[in-house]
Amino acid sequence: MDPNQTFLDMFAAMKDKDFETARELALALKGWFANGGFYPHQYTPEAMHCYIASVLRRTFGHGPDPVFSLVCRYCDAGEGIATEEDAIGEGWSEIEPAFALPQANYCGVCPDCRITADN
């Protein structure tokens, strides 16, 4: 994937109000960066994630839902949990979409951190 071209296509799709395409491209970019892909040289990672988050927010309800991937608000737990139901079954709470996070599409509080927070 060429993230620079994908970014430009996403930008153009937003301008054309083609929200389904923009959302697909935003999710593709997010997945690319989450897997360690390089950033287009003219953007900082912060600026890139800020814009991707903005696109995901504004295209909510259009096109595909993000693949479920989860990270804990307080630690790096969450890898390998495939669905929100699995997470709840394992004792996660406060699960919500995390458009701005580079490494996951949802964040929550893992069972370990929930116990710590309660004490």
Min dist CB 114 to Zn ion, Å, is 8
Residue 72 as a binder of Zn ion (CB under 5 A): the answer is: yes
Residue 87 as a binder of Zn ion (CB under 5 A): the answer is: no
CA dihedral of 45, 48, 52, 58, whole degrees rounded to 10: 130
Residue 39 as a binder of Zn ion (CB under 5 A): the answer is: no
SS3 93: strand
Min dist CB 13 to Zn ion, Å, is 36
Min dist CB 112 to Zn ion, Å, is 5
Give the whole-angstrom CA distance, residue 63 versus residue 58.
Answer: 12
Residue 70 as a binder of Zn ion (CB under 5 A): the answer is: no
Applying CB under 5 A, the residues found at the interface with Zn ion are: 72, 74-75, 77, 110, 113
